[in-house]
Structure 1
Amino acid sequence: MSKNYVLNTYNKFLKLPFGKKLFSWYSARRAPYFSTVSPLITDIKPNYCEVLIKKRKGVENHIGTVHVIAICNGLEMAMGFMCEASIPKNLRWIPKGMEVKYPAKADSDIRCVAEVPADAWKPGDLPISVKAYNAEGTVVVDGTITVWVSEKR
């Protein structure tokens, strides 16, 4: 079993009925703003995390699609959990910036994905690829979240 606390906690929750839902609820409560999109962490492993946002009235904009800020919330959650599940114990990270483009309408449930190559964990700026997909697999938000990685004191 992995020695990473996020992955250990996730694996413990997976043994329970509705484990992914419980883990997602528990996790969103630790950073309460994430709960505004009712996220479901559907997959987490080193260097990869996937979060599902259901299309519902509370996350829609004036044209009935999922609001890009709600999607950015899901992308940031995926990035944060991916970082926590991946970063070597001697390093720490903090978000520094986000750039996103909206190539298509977010007209369904949204799958938010953050991933980096396994060899990416070095001190300095780390650009993390984030993408949000609609139910058909079309990219609706494409971006980069840059985190600052540094040695722990």
Structure 2
Amino acid sequence: MSQVHTLWKTTTGLPVVGATLGKRLFSLAFAQKAPYFASIRPQVTELRPNHAEVLIRKRRRVHNHLGTVHAIALCNGLEMAMGALAEASVPQDKRWIPKGMTVSYAAKATGDVTCIAETDPEQWAGLGDLGVRVRGELADGTVVIEGVIDLWVTPKRR
């Protein structure tokens, strides 16, 4: 189990803290890995190998000129979900780095958005290109953004 996944299990499993506060603590800690993530005040709501979810609440600081969640805030949330998934999924003898992101905006983000990243376990068996499927959904299931974040997976240097 990776350090990130261990931290998730620890913070969300503390009986004194409770799962909700544990998720907030984890989200704050994880956002420090790439401080720009903190600009959207994300909350990791689910994390396991091959699946991660990050909630972006709709509030003024992430609005665009239309009063909806800004596309770049959504991309930031998708990248954070992908990063959490990759850290929880990558085999110990490999490393990853993002290569690019391709997204389509499917609908206006008129409410809180859950950014979801997913892979299949067999994708981590090889080296080279790995596509992480990403999407952002409103509470009613409406997809507001979807795409792929491409990773480059290589062996870890010893």
SS where residue 30 of structure 1 aligns? coil
Determine the structure 2 residue equivalent to 1:35.
38
Runs in 1 of length 4+ with deviation above 3 angstroms? none
Alignment of 1:79-94 (within 5 A): 79-94=82-97
Residue number in structure 1 paired with 2:136: 132
Query: Helix, strand or coil for the counterpart of 2:110?
Result: coil
CA distance in structure 2 between the aligned counterparts of 1:29 and 1:98, rounded to whole angstroms? 22
Displacement of 1:5 in angstroms is 1.1
Residue 69 in 1 paired to residue 67 in 2?
A: no
Residue identity opposite 1:92 in structure 2 = R
Is residue 144 of structure 1 aligned with residue 142 of structure 2? no
Distance between the aligned counterparts of 1:29 and 1:145, measured in 2? Answer: 21
Quote the Cα distance in structure 1 between the aligned partners of 2:119 and 2:7: 21
SS across alignment from 2:32: helix
- Which residue of structure 2 aligns with residue 7 of structure 1? 5
Shift of 1:29: 1.9
Q: Name the CA distance, whole Å, in 1 between partners of 2:99 and 2:43.
A: 24
The farther-off stretch of 51-60 and 8-17 is 8-17
Aligned pair count reads 151
User: 5+ residue gaps in structure 2?
Assistant: none
Larger mean Cα displacement after TM superposition, 26-35 or 104-113: 26-35
Give, in angstroms, the shift of residue 98 of structure 1: 0.3
Specify the code of the residue in structure 2 equivalent to 1:96: K
Shift in Å, 1:113: 0.3
Provide the TM-score with structure 1 as the length reference. 0.96
Instruction: Tell me, in whole angstroms, the C-alpha distance in 2 between the residues paired with 1:32 and 1:103.
Output: 28
TM-superposition CA deviations, 1:8-42 (whole Å, max 9, x none) = 11111111241001110111122110000000000
Is 2:98 aligned against 1:95? yes
**Which stretches in structure 1 are left out of the alignment for 5+ residues?**
none
Task: Using the TM superposition, give the Cα deviation of residue 85 of structure 1 relative to its aligned residue in structure 2, in angstroms.
Answer: 0.2
TM-score w.r.t. structure 2 length?
Answer: 0.93
Partners of 2:35 and 2:128 in 1: CA distance: 28
Shift of 1:52: 0.1
Residues 1:57 and 2:71 aligned together? no
Residue deviations 1:41-94, cap 9 Å, x none?
A: 000000110000000000000000000100000000000010000000111100
Question: What CA RMSD, in Å, does the superposition of the two structures yield over aligned residues?
Answer: 0.8
The letter of the residue matching 1:113 is I
